[in-house]
Structure 1
């Protein structure tokens, strides 16, 4: 429980500074500072992914319970794939020793790119489809999403 509290506090602190990331990187003088900025960026990107997933779940909560189940399955599979991709990119056991002091920066940057790709993929479910899109599958019509999500953030 204490670990969870500490992690939450750390994430809140990183989120507070995430808006200052360009300044963070511009002002970073040491590899440690650059690594910290890259870590902040990764936490920010992951937070955006979580927010997007919550919005999708909210938009589709009454439309398709099957979709929500499949979304959870897809996200878990993606997380597993992300972990495998990270291990493929940096396969050696002692990463700091093998890849050097830049490893945290490089790994955070690589993971951020993968998370951003996932975000772009999932945005389609919030954008919705237009009239005539016969291949939309589980993606709702854009009108329905706008109507159902009009109270998000209120």
Structure 2
């Protein structure tokens, strides 16, 4: 029985080792996730700019809001990690993770202008109805 348990533990360790990643690889993977989310955000943003191009007041306000959102996102991450480089080897992964979450949430927020909202919502403002 002892030999069987030892063999099973050894096999488990071998299989688990195949999934191990270095911290550098985890940092790179997290950054890749953020980069992908940022590209999606930029695609949605550009689509809104094209779709609403005739509404110059809206475009002006959207651009201002986007600039301010970037400042807020960066300030929030800076508040989380005020002393850059002082939080160990996981810091780049954690920073990228927060950036990805903020970016995915912003993309979801902006998609409303592309997808529209149901007719009858009296508070739709500049968002088109479906």
Q: What do the CA deviations read for 1:14-63 (whole angstroms, capped 9, x no partner)?
A: xxxxxxxxxxxx9662111111111111110000000000111111112x
**In the alignment, which residue of structure 2 is the partner of 1:91?**
82
Question: How many positions carry a matched residue from both structures?
Answer: 113
**In the alignment, which residue of structure 2 is the partner of 1:76?**
67
For 1:137 and 1:42, locate their aligned partners in 2 and report how far apart those are by CA, in whole Å.
Answer: 30
The structure with higher relative contact order (CA 8 Å, sep 6+) is 2
**Runs of 5+ consecutive residues of structure 1 not aligned to the other structure:** 1-25, 143-154
Superposition TM-score, scaled by structure 1 size: 0.69
Matched, 1:130 2:103: no
The structure 1 segments of at least 4 consecutive aligned residues displaced by more than 6 Å after TM superposition are none
**Runs of 5+ consecutive residues of structure 2 not aligned to the other structure:** 1-17
For 1:71 and 1:28, locate their aligned partners in 2 and report how far apart those are by CA, in whole Å.
Answer: 43
**Pairwise CA distance, 1:140:** 1.4
Larger Rg belongs to: 2
**Pairwise CA distance, 1:110:** 0.9
Aligned residue among 29, 49, 53 for 2:21:
29
Superposition TM-score, scaled by structure 2 size: 0.81
Q: Say what the alpha-carbon RMSD is for the aligned residues.
A: 1.5
